[in-house]
Amino acid sequence: MKKEVRTRFAPSPTGFMHIGNLRSALYGYLFVKKNNGKIILRIEDTDVERFVEGAVEVIYSTCDQAGIVFDEGPREGGPYGPYVQSERKSIYLEHAKKLVETGHAYYCFCDKERLEHVTFMGTKRYDKHCLSLSKEEVQRRLDAGESYVIRQNIPIEGESSYTDLVFGEITVPNKDMEDNILIKSDGMPTYNFAHVVDDHYMHVTYVIRGNEYLSSTPKYNLLYDAFGWERPEYIHLTQIMKDETRKLSKRHGDANFDDFIRKGYLPHAIVNYIALLGWSPKSTQEKFTMEELIENFSVEGLSKSNSIFDEKKMAWLNGEYIKELSFEEFYKYALPYFEKSSIKGRYDYEPFARLLQTRIEIFSEIPEKVKFIDEYERFPSEKYENQRFKIDQELAYKILNSYLENLEKLDFKEDAWKDKVKEVVDLYQLKQGAVYSTMRWAISGVDVTPGGFVEIAMILGKEKSIKRLKQSSIWLKEDLGK
């Protein structure tokens, strides 16, 4: 009978959710949903010094937004709790003692000074010094209240191997593995030990985690063997990199889920993007709903080499999702960015929003795109040149001046301003685009605007529009040396 698929996401509460972490959670979730299994959330807080208040909330809020739901965990409850390691402290000590009894572990009383100079088999490793202590000696020192740790007793001979579902067979010589600490002197277990006993008692059958554990996994398997427990399957995940040599980490900034949300990314766009970073579907599909990700996920598609994070591609994907939003949804997301922009409270946002929906990839572009409303600065006259419409500066100058003629008398109505364009078109026998292109430059002074000349003029109002057009005519005249 095939064993039930159960995996876990086991972050330590550091206070933020790194994008690589999120991806591990995602893959675990996809794997489990695809195989009718369960995913549990376990908080690994055995490092008392690094604990951050509110960190568990950050983990949950991130996963909630990302659409990752756990079957068991501190919030969900479940039959194998508690799901927070600090609440399981006594279990670990008890199990470590069992290992001591069977000779798979031993007490160690070595102090820091000794540890600093110790070498073993030519390397700087613990030398099994305390392994040779007699039972009585150990008991005596324990009774005397000496500080101790419990170390795993790893054989010196032979080698250990296992099969990882993505990397294949991994073999590590036993002599290369150190007798690492299972129980720290503060009585807390180390990761190395705690996760093994938890995974066993939580019936975890698939361990999905970062590949920094790839070569230490044999040690953990030795622990499973020592207890007589069944070893789980392993799926080790590659790293997400900033560039070829650097990991994407919080130290470099911008790697947290929350940062991207704040920048104006849609949660699902982030999820979709990171799903594709290190995993590839059998088809050429790029956009996936969560259901489709589940449907298509398979460990064969998992990559064996690290991937470099490319925010440009994520932005593209985000833009695709933005275009799909209904206008109401778009407006809801966009609103805070308008509130942060220079037009805050002075214009109706809606016309801008309508124009912007197909023109931005991330919401944080909004303030920038709207800035031209207040800012109008001299720009190089070369900007008027347009190969397609065959415009040079000379022609731009003529167009501009013809347009300006009797402009004050004109009604400030959209149609009137459009008719004026036609007039100039006829005058010089041009394509409409030539006039619009010139006028858009003259009135905005920037490369990109939401909407064309007439839309901008309507937003700016008659007075401001005419003022800008006159100004641009003066600048152009100067540049032409007239």
Cβ distance to RNA smaller for residue 3 or 422: 422
Peptide linkage before 82 cis (omega within 30 of 0)? yes
325 CB burial (10 A radius; 0-12, 13-18, 19+): middle
Q: H-helix or E-strand containing 235?
A: strand 233-237
Cβ distance to RNA smaller for residue 36 or 387: 387
Give the up-direction half-sphere exposure of residue 27: CA atoms within 13 A in the CB hemisphere: 31
Cβ distance to RNA smaller for residue 36 or 283: 283
Q: H-helix or E-strand containing 237?
A: strand 233-237
Cβ distance to RNA smaller for residue 1 or 144: 144
Altogether, the residues listed in the chain come to a count of: 482
Whole-number Å distance between alpha carbons of 178 and 180: 5
Least Cβ distance, residue 471 to RNA (angstroms) = 19
Least Cβ distance, residue 325 to RNA (angstroms) = 14
With vertex at residue 238, the alpha carbon angle to CA 234 and CA 240, rounded to the nearest 5 degrees, is 145
Cβ distance to RNA smaller for residue 286 or 350: 286
Residue 388 has a CB neighbour count (10 Å cut-off) of 9
Q: Which residue has the tokens 């004050």?
A: 408
DSSP E strands in 109-218: the ranges are 149-152, 159-164, 168-173, 181-183, 206-210
Q: For residue 230, give Cα distances in angstroms to 202, 203, 204, 205, 252.
A: 13, 10, 10, 9, 40
Least Cβ distance, residue 215 to RNA (angstroms) = 4
Cβ distance to RNA smaller for residue 214 or 466: 214
Cβ distance to RNA smaller for residue 111 or 350: 111
Q: For residue 67, give Cα distances in angstroms to 31, 248, 266, 272, 290.
A: 14, 23, 12, 11, 8
Least Cβ distance, residue 243 to RNA (angstroms) = 8
Q: Which two tokens stand for residue 270?
A: 């982030």
Least Cβ distance, residue 1 to RNA (angstroms) = 29
Cβ distance to RNA smaller for residue 3 or 285: 285
Least Cβ distance, residue 174 to RNA (angstroms) = 10
Residue 285 has a CB neighbour count (10 Å cut-off) of 11
Per the rule left: phi > 0, alpha: psi between -120 and 50, beta: everything else, 355 is: alpha
Give the up-direction half-sphere exposure of residue 221: CA atoms within 13 A in the CB hemisphere: 22
Q: Which two tokens stand for residue 340?
A: 């942060």
Contact 277, 10 (CB under 8 A): no
Q: Which of 250, 462, 464, 467 is flagged as catalytic?
A: 250
Cβ distance to RNA smaller for residue 3 or 171: 171
User: Is 250 among the residues known to form the active site?
Assistant: yes
Q: For residue 8, give Cα distances in angstroms to 39, 203, 235, 248, 295.
A: 5, 10, 12, 23, 20
Whole-number Å distance between alpha carbons of 253 and 267: 18
Query: DSSP assignment of 353-408, as one string?
Result: HHHHTTT-SSGGGHHHHHGGGT------GGGG-BTTTTB-HHHHHHHHHHHHTTGG
The residues annotated as belonging to the active site are 250
